[in-house]
Chains A and B, each alone.
Chain A
Amino acid sequence: MALLSVRGLSVAYAGGTALDSLDLALHRGETLALVGESGSGKSQAALAVMGLLPEAARVSGSVRFDGTELIGLPRPALDRIRGARIGMVFQEPMSALDPLFPVGRQIALPLQAHRGLTRAQARARALDLLTLVGIRDAERRLSAYPHELSGGERQRVMIAMALACEPDLLIADEPTTALDVTVQAQILALLADLKARLGLALLFITHDLRLVRRMAERVAVLRAGRLVETGPTERIFARPQSPEARDLLAAEPRGRKAPVPAGAPVVMAARGLSVSYPGRGGLFTRAAPRRALQGIDLALRAGQTLGVVGESGSGKSSLGRALVRLEPAATGLVRFEDRDLTRLDRAGLRPLRRFFQPVFQDPYGSLSPRLSAGEIVAEGLRVHAPGLSARERDARAAEAFAQVRLDPETRHRQPHAFSGGQRQRIAIARAIILRPKVVVLDEPTSALDRTVQRDIVALLRDLQARHGLAYLFISHDLAVVRALADTVLVLRDGREVERGETAAVLARPREAYTRALVAAADLAPEGQS
């Protein structure tokens, strides 16, 4: 008999159906991957199993766990199962832990509740658990607060909490999405190891099919709330039957960028670029200043893409902001064509700003909710082309919409009416309407689903070829960098680790850190999708 058996599970809200009669079965010791893009209903399924859906959700169907029906189970009975026999790990380890309590206390909670351990006993067991999930110096970490831990450590703490009462089933909802690639690889290895050692069944929820190949025996593919395909992992990867599964498998950005034309002029250059932030203190303390970027040199030619790769805190965003002069703490030399930008004040920079435009990661946060999409796109023209009438600006906005392949008629809508990928297109349109020569793209595809990413990558390549744009492309995602960048610069702790032609660096990384990044990214072989 299956340990977890889901039959006809549906979740509906006033706005529509989030999950439509899902059937799943998961046996003891088995890993099932639930795969789908955002909005496919995969998290809804996990939350429904755990009884964690918001009050507004209407749930129907059946979820049987080891013979007990969980849907409609009264709270006290449910609370004897969740946390005790089913553990759950959430996506965002920062926001999933309580910031006000030491992690040791939080790990002890389920032990006190389900096992009736005293505080001291629970603490001793929490110490074992932290060691089990590979946290170094566990004794001292017990009394640390979540904000004092790194992202990877927090996720290990989450896993320790979920495993505290030795559950039979672990549900991991995008457990590595918020983490750096090398940390991601460590957490996946830990989950695989724990699963083998403890005989866990694992329901592994992800949008990233590449992770699935190494983790799961079986795969279930969701799209728009419906199960579209399920089967053994090998078979799905070798012979996907549904168009949805084929699409997900082919979603890695492919192809290469055209080489930079010979003799293309250098449009932007930097020498000895450094950024250092004053110490950020708590209420009672002042920390020492932090050097975010140290002594970076670079030159960007028209039509060239320099990929900047590194993990969080490596200084890659500081580099991007320093280059477009949005980083007041930057020192060093930045030249645009023949002008030294570091000598210009705000007023002197303003007429030049249209030539170097930034595009940021978060397509939700970087668009003003009070303006229409067309107004957002045309806003820069007010400053940089003050002679244009409102009608002319609107015409240019419509043109920019067409360039990023959005329907120009949609420009009158507010930003929230667009999907994540469409919003990123709006952000790109806002930059290119000014006819820049350099665009700094800071993780423009990171918040997007793989299939949407693929389209944005194609769009960026196309715009570059048409307008001879130079890109500084900042990303932690080597698959995207491979598809877009001529050269790649690897940063760590604000310093250059390695630099070279993209294909060469990815095929034969010289430095250990680059090798770790490349290994963790698990890129599909060249020429294959």
Chain B
Amino acid sequence: MTDAVIPFVLRRLVQAVPTLFLVVTLSFVLVRLAPGGPFDLERPLAPSAMENLRRVYGLDQPLPVQYARYLGALLTGDLGPSFSVRDLSVAELLGRGLPVSMTLGALALLAALVLGAGLGGLAAAAKGRPLDHAVTALRTVALTVPGFVVAPLLQIAFGLSLRWLPVGGWEGGAPAHLVLPVVTLALPQAAAIAQLTRNALLEVLATQPMRTLRALGLPRRVIALHALRGAALPVISYLGPTAAGLLTGSVVVETIFGLPGIGRAFVDGALNRDYTLVMGTVVLVAVFVVAFNLLVDLAYALVDPRVRHA
């Protein structure tokens, strides 16, 4: 089976090419449809200067030519120069933001998984009892209160009143600066994972294989381990797109906490009509989504033998 994995992965990567092509094309069209351009400032530039800039960045060419050039460069891995941050390429900008977003995202994912699976397991064990209801209530709050409300509340409570944690800034990724943004990112995901885990566990526990295990007189612990494996499947498929989203940065959290991640780069790029930066971010997110969907399929095959063989 292991020798079949590599061809499978290769096949999937080839299949991803048209998807990525579609994403690039669509974002190219959309970003050009937005009114204004990268060099429209509040005080308009002199026409000759504008002309110069447009020629330097190739914006004087017809759109199809620009599109073809962009695609050609993309094939060599070149995301182009940034229009708004002079002297830096998009790749360099994303390279600066990615460690920030990935650190936050990875920590948030880990926290959400541990907290969510734990609470979900507890709620399933206490089905219908007060603990289950309490988890449900917490879950509803965490899922419905948006990040732009949670973040300022956390800043006020832990930053301004208690003065335990800084209210923002990156400072090279100092742990104290990570806590509040990670909590803001993790809370809704933890809630979603708790709900998924609880329901999947209860569903699996009601199946006939679990009844067979009870008929064998096995201790609860052993049965729970078997059930967890079955319940992992829906959680895994949820984690794929979620991980891709978390690792590529959050506009809201990075803006509120003033963090130099991908989300901020994207917003700045969009506001400045920095065409290449916006498209570079989109391509990056698309690559992450493709990669994590592939990982989800591989994880599925690892857990479920029926997926592995015919």
Q: B-contacting residues of A (Cβ < 8 Å)?
A: 50-52, 75, 78-84, 87-88, 90, 92, 95-102, 109-110, 113-114, 145, 147-148, 158, 161-162, 279-287
Picked from A82, A97, A100, A148, the residue with its CB within 8 Å of the CB of B217 is A82
Is the pair A282, B217 in contact by a Cβ cutoff of 8 Å?
no
* Chain A contacts for B61, CB-based, 8 A: none
Which among A78, A279, A283, A286 has the highest number of chain B CB atoms within 10 Å? A283
Q: Is B86 an interface residue (CB 8 A)?
A: no
* Chain A contacts for B207, CB-based, 8 A: 95
* Chain A contacts for B301, CB-based, 8 A: 282-284
Q: Is B307 an interface residue (CB 8 A)?
A: yes
By beta carbon, the residue of chain A nearest B230 is A100
List 6 other contacts, CB 8 Å, given A98-B226, A113-B218: A79-B217, A84-B217, A95-B209, A99-B209, A109-B222, A279-B310
Shortest Cβ gap from A282 to chain B (Å): 4
By beta carbon, the residue of chain B nearest A91 is B208
**Count of A-B contacts judged by CB separation below 8 Å:** 108
27 A-B pairs, CB-CB below 8 angstroms?
A: A52-B215, A79-B217, A79-B219, A80-B217, A81-B217, A82-B214, A83-B215, A83-B216, A87-B215, A92-B208, A95-B207, A96-B208, A97-B209, A98-B210, A99-B304, A99-B306, A100-B304, A101-B226, A101-B229, A113-B219, A113-B222, A161-B216, A162-B216, A281-B310, A282-B307, A284-B309, A285-B310
Number of interface residues of B (CB under 8 A): 34
Shortest Cβ gap from A105 to chain B (Å): 10
Is the pair B212, A97 in contact by a Cβ cutoff of 8 Å?
yes
Stretch at the interface among B1-9, B104-112, B113-121, B267-275: B1-9
By beta carbon, the residue of chain B nearest A54 is B206
Question: Given A90-B208, A98-B213, A284-B7, A145 and B306 touching (CB < 8 A)?
Answer: yes
Question: Given A145-B305, A147-B306, A283-B301, A110 and B211 touching (CB < 8 A)?
Answer: no
Is the pair B310, A280 in contact by a Cβ cutoff of 8 Å?
yes
* Chain B contacts for A101, CB-based, 8 A: 226, 229
Q: Is B297 an interface residue (CB 8 A)?
A: yes
Q: Is B308 an interface residue (CB 8 A)?
A: yes
A-B residue pairs, 4 tightest by C-beta: A83-B217, A284-B4, A83-B216, A79-B217
Is the pair A100, B216 in contact by a Cβ cutoff of 8 Å?
no
Shortest Cβ gap from A84 to chain B (Å): 6
By beta carbon, the residue of chain A nearest B4 is A284
Q: Is B236 an interface residue (CB 8 A)?
A: no
Is the pair B212, A283 in contact by a Cβ cutoff of 8 Å?
no
Shortest Cβ gap from A402 to chain B (Å): 40
Shortest Cβ gap from A93 to chain B (Å): 10
By beta carbon, the residue of chain A nearest B211 is A52
Cα of A157 to Cα of B230 in the assembled complex, Å: 21
By beta carbon, the residue of chain B nearest A82 is B217
Is the pair A109, B213 in contact by a Cβ cutoff of 8 Å?
yes
Question: Given A282-B309, A284-B301, A96 and B212 touching (CB < 8 A)?
Answer: yes
Is the pair B310, A50 in contact by a Cβ cutoff of 8 Å?
no
Q: Is B179 an interface residue (CB 8 A)?
A: no
Q: Is B303 an interface residue (CB 8 A)?
A: yes
Shortest Cβ gap from A64 to chain B (Å): 18
By beta carbon, the residue of chain B nearest A97 is B209
Cα of A283 to Cα of B298 in the assembled complex, Å: 9
Shortest Cβ gap from A156 to chain B (Å): 15
Shortest Cβ gap from B226 to chain A (Å): 6
Shortest Cβ gap from A65 to chain B (Å): 13
Is the pair B309, A96 in contact by a Cβ cutoff of 8 Å?
no
* Chain A contacts for B4, CB-based, 8 A: 284-285
Shortest Cβ gap from B136 to chain A (Å): 19
Cα of A283 to Cα of B7 in the assembled complex, Å: 11
Is the pair B8, A100 in contact by a Cβ cutoff of 8 Å?
no
